[in-house]
Homo-oligomer: A and B are copies of this chain.
Amino acid sequence: MSARARGRRAGESGTRTAILDAARRQFAERGYDRPSLRSIAQEAGVDPTLVTHFYGSKQQLFVTVAEFPFDPAEVLPRLLAGDPESVGLRLARFLLGVLETEEGRARITGLVRAAASEPEAARLVREFVTRDVISPLVESLGAKDAPLRASLVGAQVVGLVMARYVVGVEPLASCDADTVAAAIAPNLQRLLTQPLE
């Protein structure tokens, strides 16, 4: 994009593109909290009122540019490969692995935090649980009540994100990732493959 297209004089679509590019970069590099509508507008070379006009709130802007920090199509086969009796541990380690990188943590905590008040973010979290990752995993494992299992796994994952990374419940918040993965793996395993009741 040319310098001119980033400025105010570009048409609406150029302005939107500049805002989204700036938002994507700032959320990815600085997390959810630090960027402001003002800092994003500044980088995009537009007036902050334009950002509000097009996207409303920071949460809405975040949701518009949100992407999972991994590719489900690449992750699923990796989780399904190997002994079904240890898929809970593989899922736990994969999740902790993503959450322990700065970018992954920023994106996922941003999404979960936004989901608490923004219906569009809630929809993205539901899709993660019910369509993109957990449901295909549960269905491939073949246990009955797959949809309920998938939503219970989702509850466990969202709870871990909230308790360890958002609310900061100790000692869970400062515990090393391997200990956390080992502690939650049997619960995930039960929800994935063992009798529910």
Which listed residue, B147, B155, B166, touches A115 by the CB 8 Å rule?
B166
Q: How far is the CB of A127 from chain B (nearest CB, A)?
A: 10
One complex includes copies of this chain to the number of 2
* Contacting pair A155 B130 (CB below 8 A): no
Number of chain A interface residues as a range: 35 or more
* Contacting pair A160 B168 (CB below 8 A): no
Residues of B within 8 A of A151 (CB): 163, 169-173
Most buried by B among A116, A166, A167: A167
* Contacting pair B122 A117 (CB below 8 A): no
Residues of B within 8 A of A22 (CB): none
Main secondary structure of the interface of A (DSSP, over half): helix
Q: Please, which residue of chain B has its CB at the minimum distance from the CB of A127?
A: B169
Q: How far is the CB of A89 from chain B (nearest CB, A)?
A: 10
Which listed residue, B122, B163, B187, B196, touches A129 by the CB 8 Å rule?
B163
Cα A111 to Cα B191 with chains together (Å)? 27
* Contacting pair B163 A162 (CB below 8 A): no
Residues of B within 8 A of A126 (CB): 167-170
Q: Is A112 an interface residue (CB 8 A)?
A: yes
* Contacting pair A196 B183 (CB below 8 A): yes
Cα A162 to Cα B125 with chains together (Å)? 10
Q: Please, which residue of chain B has its CB at the minimum distance from the CB of A117?
A: B113
* Contacting pair A116 B162 (CB below 8 A): yes
Convert A102-124 into 0s and 1s, putting 1 for each residue whose CB lies closer than 8 angstroms to a CB of B.
00000000001111110000100
Q: Please, which residue of chain B has its CB at the minimum distance from the CB of A172?
A: B151
Q: Is A24 an interface residue (CB 8 A)?
A: no
Residues of B within 8 A of A116 (CB): 112-117, 162, 166
Closest 4 CB pairs of A and B: A159-B159, A155-B163, A151-B172, A116-B116
